[in-house]
Amino acid sequence: MSEHKRAGLNERERERLLDRLSRGSTSVGGSVPDTVDVQGTEVPLREFVFEIKDFDAVPEAERERADEMVTALRRERLQRRNRLASDDDLTAAEGEQLVESIVGLDRAINPLDSLDARGFEEQAREQWLDEQKRWSAFLHRIL
């Protein structure tokens, strides 16, 4: 019997995936995942983000909850990125899945990280404008 070994992620593929994470346009058009496993705990991430974003002006207690979540999400993002950068047993498909999961974390971190006393509508408009600028810059680069 022959043993089937999964093809590991080669360095070129690994660099391509890491480069995708460093581009500003990576999370444009992405969505916040329904749930995410953060250090062994399943978090209803989409529900949490939308709950926080529903406030016209975010109360201090909710802002603290959001800050704690951002810290946990950043820690999880760093762990996943480090795994992508160093795990020699990753396959190309697993690397792609890891990148997609990191992009989902980024989509959750962005609105939570930018909470302040301004209303959500103003924040959403600014985020939309930023995304439009990134898309425009991206399209100008490829065209």
| Residue 4 is assigned to a structural domain of this protein | no
Query: What single DSSP character describes residue 6?
Result: P
Q: Is residue 42 part of a domain?
A: yes
Is 5 among the domain residues? no
In sequence order, the 6+-apart residues with CB closer than 8 A to the CB of 89 are 6, 8
Kindly report the CA angle at 11 between 103 and 91, in degrees rounded to 5? 65
Q: For residue 121, list its beta bridge partners.
A: none
Q: How many domains does the chain have?
A: 1
Q: Would 2 be classed as within a structural domain?
A: no
pLDDT of amino acid 80 = 95
**Residue range 78-107: mean pLDDT, rounded:** 92
Per-residue pLDDT, 86: 92
Distance set, CA 74 to CA 1, 79, 109 (Å): 45, 9, 8
Residue with the bigger pLDDT between 40 and 78: it is: 78
94 or 141, which is more confident? 94
29 — pLDDT class (breaks 50, 70, 90): low
Q: Tell me whether residue 99 is in a domain.
A: yes
Residue range 60-89: average pLDDT? 91
Structural Rg of the chain based on CA atoms: 18
- The 10s digit of each residue's pLDDT in 34-58 is 998 888 889 899 899 888 888 777 7
Residue 83 has pLDDT above 50, yes or no: yes
- Residue-level length of the chain: 143
| Residue-level pLDDT at 1 | 39
The parent domain of residue 108 ranges over 11-142
Q: Answer yes or no: is 3 within a domain.
A: no
